[in-house]
Structure formats: structure tokens, C-alpha cells
Amino acid sequence: MAQVDRQQWDVVVVGAGGAGLRAAIEARERGARTAVICKSLFGKAHTVMAEGGIAASMANVNAHDNWQVHFRDTMRGGKFLNQWRMAELHAKEAPERVWELETWGALFDRTPDGRISQRNFGGHEYPRLAHVGDRTGLELIRTLQQKIVALQQKDFAETGDHESGLKIFQECTVTRILKDSSGQVAGTFCYDRETGRFFVLEAPAVVLATGGIGKSFKVTSNSWEYTGDGHALALLAGAPLLNMEFVQFHPTGMVWPPSVKGILVTESVRGDGGVLRNSDGKRFMFDYIPDVFKEKYAETEEEGDRWYEDPDNNRRPPELLPRDEVARAINAEVKEGRGSPHGGVFLDVSTRMPAEVVRRRLPSMYHQFKELADVDITAEPMEVGPTCHYVMGGIAVDSDTAATVGVPGLFAAGEVAGGMHGSNRLGGNSLSDLLVFGRRAGLHAAEHAADCEVRPEATAAEVDAAAAEALAPFGAEASEEGPVENPYALHQELQQTMNDLVGIIRRAGEMAEALSRLAALRERARRLGVEGHRQFNPGWHLALDLRNMLLVSECVARAALERTESRGGHTREDHPAMDREWRAVNLLCHATENDGAGHGVRLERIRTEPVRPDLLALFEKDELVKYLAEEEL
């Protein structure tokens, strides 16, 4: 039996981004002794990178806004595939979560009369994004960290130990969810990235808040942490994933120089007046307004421009369509030969706002382009193109409690959870999602832990198996099947496969090809080998992350091949229309038994729950006809 330290907690939160920290605060405030574990330094989670803002219908800038309008926008953006109860809770609770942040010390930008300022974003009917310049995520994390430190100081005053009730394990990775013999969650198997030391955090409740999967794609706005760990941990523990085919390609990532390709250009650029042009200088988005949005968007540049000053009497410009529409339009312009010199299109603020306003409202963008591309965005346009940004699919959860399906004690919140955003997320709806459902996950995890009369205990066999799995790359040997494989080479091949064959525009033949390449990569991954020892060994870390990326990539490819329609973040060239019959279908991914070369993926179709009538009544019948299947009407 492996010698592994064990520590006991009530709740373990995996991930220290917005969702994880909000969950931890709630669990601690409900009396649960809570451990937070994260791969990077505390405060360095992906949430820090969020730029544009948090969506919440506080109605500070337009008094017509309210939760019903936010709910409607979210459902429209997700093309009605959203788990409607999540969309309802999110729209209702987001304002409270933002005000709460302010009471914890967040310093938002203000309106002239001193309220929290809100900006426009794609798909949101009214200015709705509370923001701090274009560095909102930084302020969000700073505030949540400050709150955690305050709770630790309180614990210190009572117990003499800052970490008695809430402890952060930073630069540590979870590789397995542990369960007891009855299938209850019993804790997590972890290793310290610096020393390579293994340890177990025992707890009857675990919250997964590990973020997204972008590092499976070559061009992405995501940071190194986004290797789909939480998705894979849930699958391997027996909890299914929901609608993994929906991956958001943000329309505006940098395209040049190659070393920074994919880095995000925030949607605030368009929200604040930036326009997209092709190589002929044409504002091409007017040619790409889909029928379902026709009545809501301006038909002329003049009307679109007037909307910024007088939104009540004009329609918004089509640059502010939901992200999936804008990304497809850019892709089409480039394909038609009307792209910019480096394979994108032009995004221009220089002719739309005075230089000093650009520098004040978009400080990070100004510096990003100046330093990384030597482009002065106050004087010339940016070159931009689509980049893999966000995964709408994720762990299937109960809308109210964030509990996963079939694994008692396992909860999930934030980007790792599915359902909230349907087939396409609106900008700004992630930061609010983290706070609303992070809080709910923390609350219900704490309650679950308190209700456990007997603490579930991970079996020694499970702990031994997790240790052996983690050590396998050190013992890899060449065999008749092939040589020892290098994790970096395998990762590159995986990213290329997903980018080329399961990217923004999908075709059946290519996805079938992707699945066979993924199967071959999975086979080769059995022989992944690393040199050296366990002390800070990045090759080893990547070898362990690859199990997760391969599994999650197979989920995306398999579900994308199955869904024979185009909807939100899933565009099929061979099935270009949205199909009302598919609206009622959710695709669940389950892990199959280990066949020797690891676990594969099996799909299951389930029907979506009908939308509650009072929520349906918020829409015009004419609009619902475009989305809902006959029997749902």
C-alpha cells in the first residue's frame, strides 16, 4: 500500500477561480471546514484574465432592464438549449452577487451619478456588464481572495490557526476523485507540483470548479490550466457530461504575430463602438444577420451608429450579435478572400473614438497590441479572427444544488459545469455564473457534508491505483506496439487534430477522422514517458493532463458527430440549419470501461425538460416557433 498523507476536511473545492473561491466562502460561512486546491498560485486562476465584465440586470444605465430580459437574452443566446432553471436562477441572483462583491470591497467603474457602471455586450438587450476597465476578472479574484483572508483572520482569532477552517493548497493537482465502497465521494487524490509528493484530502463533499478545456485546441484564448481536468475527473468518477459539442469560438482573437495567435481581444471593443471591416473596407456584419435576429438589429450603418446614443429608438449594430454568429461571419469573409493580410479581419476603434478615450476605456487592449504586435489601436485597426474560448458543455448538474448526476457528494460549478449557457454563452454571463452557482455549490456541499452521519472512506485499493496511475509515465517502456512517447509531441498532435477537424466549421467525414486519430493517440498515450524525477517536472504534469484532454476531446468529437444540425457553438457544414427536433435533445457522455488503452466515451440521448409556462410566456409565440419542437408549443 502506498504511503500517502491523509487530511480530513468537510468540503474540498478543486479550483481557485471565481467559482471555486465563491463556493469555498459559502461552504466556510455555513460552518464547513473547507480545503481549496489549485494547480497554480493562489490568485492566478483563469478568472483573472476576464476582461469585459459581469452581466447582471441592475438597470443602472437603462432602467428598462430586469431579470426577465436577462433570462430572455440568455435563452436566445443559447438557442433555447439552456437548462432553463439555471438561466432563471442566474438572471434573478446575479445582481445580488455583484452588490455583495461591492460590499466585500470590489471597486467597479461608476456612472456619473455614482452607481456601478454597466456596458453593452453582444446579445444583451441593455447595457448590463458591471466592469473595472477591461480588467474585471482581476478585481473579482482580488475581492474574493480578500474575503478568504478575512475569514482566515477570523478563524485565527478563534483558534490561533489561520488555516483551521479554510486552507488553500496551491500549486497542487487533483488526479482522481476517490469514493468509498458504496459509491459515495470520499475525497481527492492529489500531488504537490513542486515536490511531486502525493496526498489525499478526505471529505464527504467535493466541488469541482476547474474551468474549461481550451488547451485541447491549437488556437485558444485559454491559459495552460485549461486541460479539462474537472470534466475528466467527473467522467472517471461516474458522473456524465452534457452537450460537449458546444465549444465557443470567440470571434476576436489576435491573429498576428504567430506567437500570440489566439490571445483574446475583448468584446468590450465592439460594445464600446468598435466595428468590423473586411479588406474592401466594408462593415460586413450587416450581411450576416440571421432570420431569428432580423427584427432586433439595425439594417444600416447610420441606425447602428445612432443606437450608441439613443438605444430606445434605434436597433443595435450587428457587430453585437452573439459570438457564434460573428465568429462564423469572420470565418466566411476570410474564406471568400476578403480577409486581412494575416488571415483575420479588421477591428477598428481608431476612427470611432478619440485616442484618449480608447486608452481610458480599453487600457489592456491598448497595451496588448502595442507590446505584442507593435500596433497602436488609437491610430490603426487591429487584425482579429476566431479563437477557441469557452466550453458550454460540461458536467451535468442539478440546477438548484449543483449536484452531479449519480455520484453522491460530487458538485460542480463554473465553466466546468454544463447546462447554463445552452449552445452558446453570452459575454459577461460567465463571471455571473461563477458567483451564482459557485455560491449554490458551496452551500449544498456544506449541507451534504453536515448531513453525513458516517464519513465515507476511500479504500486503500483506490488510493494505490491512483498512485500507480500517476507514476506510470516514469516506468514507460518501448514495446512491439511502438516507442516511448513524448507528451509534448502528443499534445501538439492532439491540438492540431481538434483545431483542424473539430473546429469552428465541422463536417461528418472530418469528425470521423478526428475520432480515429484520437483513438490512435489514446493508444500511444499508454507509452507516454518522462525523464527525471517527481520534483517540479513539467513533462510529467503534461503527461498526466493528457489523459484528461484526450478523454474530453473524444467527448467533443463524438457529440459533434452525433448532432446533425447547426446550433450556437456547433456549426455543421453538412447540416447548416438549426433543427427544432434537436432542441429537445441533450447528449450525455459517459466514460466506458478501461479497455487497456484507457477509457473511451459512450453517448446517451435524453430529452430536455419542457420550459416552465410562465417563463415561456416571456417570449412572443412568433419567436418560439423558430426554436421549439411542435409538441413543445
Q: What percentage of the chain's residues is helix, strand, coil (to nearest 5)?
A: 40, 20, 40
| Rounded least distance, CB 295 to ligand FAD, Å | 27
| Rounded least distance, CB 252 to ligand FAD, Å | 11
| Rounded least distance, CB 147 to ligand FAD, Å | 15
Task: Give the torsion through C-alpha atoms of 607, 613, 617, 619, to 10 deg.
Answer: -10
AA letter at 73: D
- Of the residues 28, 46, 270, 541, only one is catalytic, namely 270
| Rounded least distance, CB 405 to ligand FAD, Å | 19
- Of the residues 46, 124, 250, 541, only one is catalytic, namely 250
Nearer to ligand FAD, 6 or 605 (CB): 6
Nearer to ligand FAD, 548 or 608 (CB): 548
Active site includes 517? Answer: no
Nearer to ligand FAD, 37 or 81 (CB): 37
| Rounded least distance, CB 428 to ligand FAD, Å | 5
Residues that bind ligand FAD (CB under 6 A): 14-20, 37-40, 45-47, 49-53, 136-137, 173-174, 209-211, 221-222, 225, 229, 264, 390, 414-416, 427-431, 434
| Rounded least distance, CB 306 to ligand FAD, Å | 26
Interatomic CA distance for residues 105 and 266, integer angstroms: 25
| 172-179 and 185-192 beta bridge pairing | antiparallel
* Cell numbers linked to 401: 444544488
DSSP 527-591: TB---S-STT-HHHHHHHHHHHHHHHHHHHHHHHHH--S-BTTB-BTTB-S--HHHHTEEEEEEE
| Alpha helical stretches, state H, 37-103 | 67-77, 84-103
Q: Answer yes or no: are the C-beta atoms of 272 and 305 closer than 8 Å.
A: no
Nearer to ligand FAD, 25 or 37 (CB): 37
Nearer to ligand FAD, 90 or 572 (CB): 90
* 220-241 core/surface letters (b: 16 or more CB in 10 A; e: else): bbbbebbbbbbbbbbbbbbbbb
* Helices H / strands E in the chain, number of each: 18, 20
Interatomic CA distance for residues 154 and 148, integer angstroms: 10
Active site includes 534? Answer: no
**What residue number has its CB nearest to ligand FAD?**
17
* Cell numbers linked to 508: 461528418
* 138-170 core/surface letters (b: 16 or more CB in 10 A; e: else): bbbbbbbeebbeebbeebeeeeeebeebbbbbb
* Cell numbers linked to 129: 456588464
Nearer to ligand FAD, 172 or 628 (CB): 172
Nearer to ligand FAD, 264 or 504 (CB): 264
Helix or strand or coil: residue 588? strand
| Rounded least distance, CB 338 to ligand FAD, Å | 27
Active-site positions read 250, 270
